[in-house]
Amino acid sequence: MSTPTTLSIRRPDDWHAHLRDGALLAACALHTARQFARAIIMPNLVPPVTTVAQAVDYRDRIRRAVPADFGFEPLMTCYLTDGADPAELARGKQEGVWVAAKLYPAHATTNSAHGVTSMDKIAKALEAMEKVGMPLLVHGEATDPEVDIFDREAVFLDKVLAPLLKRHPGLKVVLEHITTRDGVQFVEANTGRLGGTITPHHLSYNRNAIFKGGIRPHFYCLPIAKREEHRLALRRAATSGNPAFFLGTDTAPHTADTKECACGCAGIFNAPVAMQVYAQVFMEEKALDQLEAFASLNGPRFYGLPANEERITLQARPLEAPERIEVPGGDKSIVVFHPDTPVGWSF
Ligand SMILES: NC(=O)N[C@@H](CC(=O)O)C(=O)O
Ligand SMILES: [Zn+2]
Ligand SMILES: [Zn+2]
């Protein structure tokens, strides 16, 4: 089969995006809105988005950062803390503000200091979510510092998520940014109530890339990239047609100075190149016919939302994207993710 010269699919959505706030929001929001009709907006701001009022204000700031003709819709989430209020969760869902709530185990990742220290603390909140049909989105990594960083996802599934699913049988869960075969198998074993998002970067490279020729902070994110066998499992899952797997870029901008330093931040900014990289991966896997399901159909179905009617078209020509974007009002910039291997798709 020869490679097509264009690729047209229903407009996709991003089910996991960090748009930040202030100058970073101004710099980044457009890049997500250019590619995606809707995005699940992660709530790990400082301070985190924990109330309906904060989410409404944040949603307004995002809307103001994107011209109306993009037709972009931010879907808001609640950051769960030990003190999460079940009534606030239910009210925000019923008022159409929250789409889901996000579980950050305390200290697992960027801006998770206010995260959950024990699942017992949020049992009532999760019961309220079960009742109103509000999915739980999970950063699935064990936080015990004794656990090897490359094992944190697998240990979390076993020790935290499996018991949580038993305790809350009606709760729908998305295992965000899966990075292991264990994650793939866990989602497959719970299809129906569990979804799994997969990032472009975890499909593109394995852990060797982080250390190729020296330490490369722009390949560092959490969960950290794993061995090649895990990357291959992710590629099989994404291209399999299984509706449990869907697109979530985890675009996570940090200014270059905060990554290129002695204790650099975790997070990869991929919004300008996301669909191009996904298309490349699906082409390499000879599964371009599965891209629309992964990018544009499976996510809305999981969340009970309609698929988008508009379409986007990608062109089969070498990726054109900036190396970095400027942050307004200063001299800072954000480095854009570029895989080491060629990408043959552009808008
Ligand atoms: N993925 C990351 O490495 N970082 C994310 C947080 C997250 O998604 O865990 C961020 O907010 O920077
Ligand atoms: Zn995360
Ligand atoms: Zn994230």
pLDDT values of the chain reduced to their tens digit, one per residue, 347 residues: 567 899 999 999 999 999 999 999 999 999 999 999 999 999 999 999 999 999 999 999 999 999 999 999 999 999 999 999 999 999 999 999 999 999 999 999 999 999 999 999 999 999 999 999 999 999 999 999 999 999 999 999 999 999 999 999 999 999 999 999 999 999 999 989 999 999 999 999 999 999 999 999 999 999 999 999 999 999 999 999 999 999 999 999 999 999 999 999 999 999 999 999 999 999 999 999 999 999 999 999 999 999 999 999 999 999 999 999 999 999 999 999 999 999 999 99
Confirm whether residue 166 is marked as ligand binding.
Answer: no
Task: Specify the DSSP element, H or E, that contains 175.
Answer: strand 173-175
Q: Could you count the other beta carbons within 10 Å of the beta carbon of residue 326?
A: 13
Determine whether 148 is an active site residue.
no
* Least distant ligand from the CA of 42: 3
- The reply to whether the predicted model has a pTM over 0.90 is yes
Q: Point out the ligand 1 atom lying closest to the alpha carbon of residue 254.
A: 12
CA of 230 relative to ligand 1 center, distance in Å? 19
Q: Point out the ligand 1 atom lying closest to the alpha carbon of residue 221.
A: 3
Q: Which of 13, 14, 182, 250 is catalytic?
A: 250
- Domains, the chain, with CATH or none: 6-335 (3.20.20.140)
CA of 56 relative to ligand 2 center, distance in Å? 22
* Residue having the nearest C-alpha atom to atom 6 of ligand 1: 110
Confirm whether residue 102 is marked as ligand binding.
Answer: yes
Distance of alpha carbon 280 from alpha carbon 288, whole angstroms: 9
Most ligand 1 atoms within 8 A of CB, residue of 15, 18, 102 to mutate: 18
Q: What is the pLDDT of residue 145?
A: 95
Q: Which residues of 286-316 are buried (b: 16+ CB within 10 A; e: fewer)?
A: ebbebbbbbbbbbbbebbeeebbeeebebbe
Confirm whether residue 254 is marked as ligand binding.
Answer: yes
CA of 139 relative to ligand 2 center, distance in Å? 4
Confirm whether residue 177 is marked as ligand binding.
Answer: yes
Q: What is the pLDDT of residue 184?
A: 98
* Ligand 1 site, CB within 6 A: 18, 44, 109-111, 139, 221-222, 250, 252, 266-267
Task: Report the candidate in 195, 197, 345, 242 with the shortest Cα–Cα distance to residue 284.
Answer: 345
The number of CA neighbours under 13 Å toward the Cβ of 300 is 17
Q: What is the pLDDT of residue 3?
A: 75
Per the listing, tokens 């480095």 go with 335
Q: Are 275 and 341 in contact (CB under 8 A)?
A: no
* Least distant ligand from the CA of 248: 3
Say which residues have a Cβ less than 8 Å from residue 207's Cβ, sequence separation at least 6. Answer: 150, 224, 225, 226, 227
CA of 44 relative to ligand 2 center, distance in Å? 10
Distance of alpha carbon 257 from alpha carbon 308, whole angstroms: 38
